[in-house]
């Protein structure tokens, strides 16, 4: 199938699914935020029983935090409601719960969608990945820094927590007035939220509850974001040869998850469909995937297969694939 025909076909195939259903959207808001709040309260009560119970409860609570972020994510794409005002309102409110400024993240994430898989336009809204040649050109100290940052214990624990708790509190060099204002508004709201919770339960209790939720939730979220573009069969090209459709079909994974995890992650595993048309709300991604062979031609990435991504660190331009540091043993 020619590239032009593929472009025509996928556009036609996704159009019926890009309209939001307000009833489903509002139900998702309810069945995500209310259970999150209830579990948060149960974690507080569990402190008088056993902290092991508190930690156990933090796992499903973190799952709902991921689901809330998916709602936030859809609002940033303008896909969760038909009304831009509704997307903005719910986007700001869910953004406060996930410590993420709506307008700033919306701006950076739009750049990610426009540049995913483009080697010449890395650095905004993505997990920075160097090519083999770029890595070998680094000084020993910078190589150590890159290896340290890309270590799983850093990239999926300390790193995500740092991003959501601290990095999202400031705007980027590419931020405009709207993005900067969203950072200020979100910071003030987060401060009020945390201050209120501390006043109600005490600062030690607050930290014992919220820290594990943040660590587990942000770690899971960054893993999802990472594995959806960093896997063995992924796609990267220099800008002159880069193609949006190929980046969607071949550079965004179909992460096949068990039903329960698929629900908690808001169908984001159908990431190739999402990248082809980000105006499709999360609850219609699976239906779109099943509607046409174009989307089903992408081979599923299982959880077991995805674990290989933990070792992938660099892009080998000569062989057009991600490789581990072990491949550089002769350098």
Q: What local confidence, expressed as pLDDT, does residue 259 receive? A: 96
Q: What local confidence, expressed as pLDDT, does residue 77 receive? A: 97
Question: Tell me: the pLDDT tens digits for 285-330?
Answer: 999 999 999 899 999 999 999 999 999 999 999 999 999 998 887 6
H/E segment holding residue 323 = strand 321-323
Helix (H, G, I), strand (E, B) or coil at 314: strand
H/E segment holding residue 103 = helix 102-115
pTM for this entry = 0.94
Sign of the torsion formed by the C-alpha atoms of 168, 169, 171 and 176 = positive
- Contact criterion met (CB below 8 Å) for 212 and 56: no
Q: What local confidence, expressed as pLDDT, does residue 3 receive? A: 47
Euclidean distance between CA atoms 69 and 266, whole angstroms: 9
Q: Break the chain into its structural domains and give their ranges.
A: 3-129+152-303
Question: Tell me: the pLDDT tens digits for 150-159?
Answer: 999 999 999 9
Q: For the CA atoms of the chain, what is the radius of gyration?
A: 20
Stretches where the chain sits below pLDDT 70 are: 1-8, 330-331
Euclidean distance between CA atoms 267 and 91, whole angstroms: 18
Residue 320's alpha-carbon distances to 67, 119, 188, 317, in angstroms, are: 34, 11, 45, 5
Q: What local confidence, expressed as pLDDT, does residue 131 receive? A: 94
Q: What local confidence, expressed as pLDDT, does residue 4 receive? A: 47
Sign of the torsion formed by the C-alpha atoms of 22, 28, 13 and 15 = positive
């Amino acid at each position: 199938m020619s590239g032009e025909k593929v472009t025509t076909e996928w556009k036609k195939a996704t159009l019926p699914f890009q309209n939001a259903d307000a009833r489903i959207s509002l139900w998702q808001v309810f069945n995500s935020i209310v259970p999150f709040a209830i579990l948060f309260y149960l974690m507080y009560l569990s402190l008088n029983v056993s902290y092991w119970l508190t930690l156990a409860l933090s796992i499903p609570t973190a799952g709902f935090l991921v689901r809330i972020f998916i709602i936030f994510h859809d609002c940033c794409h303008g896909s969760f409601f038909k009304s831009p005002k509704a997307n903005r309102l719910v986007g700001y409110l869910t953004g406060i719960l996930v410590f993420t400024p709506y307008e700033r993240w919306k701006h950076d994430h739009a750049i990610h969608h426009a540049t995913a898989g483009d080697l010449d336009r890395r650095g905004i809204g993505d997990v920075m990945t160097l090519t083999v040649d770029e890595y070998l050109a680094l000084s020993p100290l910078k190589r150590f820094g890159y290896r340290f940052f890309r270590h799983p214990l850093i990239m999926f624990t300390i790193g995500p927590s740092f991003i959501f708790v601290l990095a999202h509190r400031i705007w980027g060099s590419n931020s405009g007035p709207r993005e900067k204002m969203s950072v200020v508004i979100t910071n003030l709201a987060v401060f009020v939220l945390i201050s209120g919770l501390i006043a109600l339960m005490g600062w030690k209790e607050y930290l014992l509850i919220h820290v594990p939720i943040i660590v587990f939730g942000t770690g899971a979220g960054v893993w999802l974001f990472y594995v959806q573009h960093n896997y063995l069969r992924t796609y990267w090209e220099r800008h002159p040869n880069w193609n949006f459709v190929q980046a969607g079909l071949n550079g965004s994974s179909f992460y096949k998850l068990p039903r329960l995890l698929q629900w908690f992650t808001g169908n984001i595993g159908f990431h190739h469909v999402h990248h082809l048309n980000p105006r499709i709300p999360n609850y219609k991604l699976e239906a779109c995937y099943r509607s046409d062979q174009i989307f089903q031609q992408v081979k599923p990435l299982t959880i077991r297969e995805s674990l290989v991504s933990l070792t992938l660190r660099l892009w080998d331009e000569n062989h057009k694939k991600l490789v581990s540091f072990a491949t550089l043993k002769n350098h």
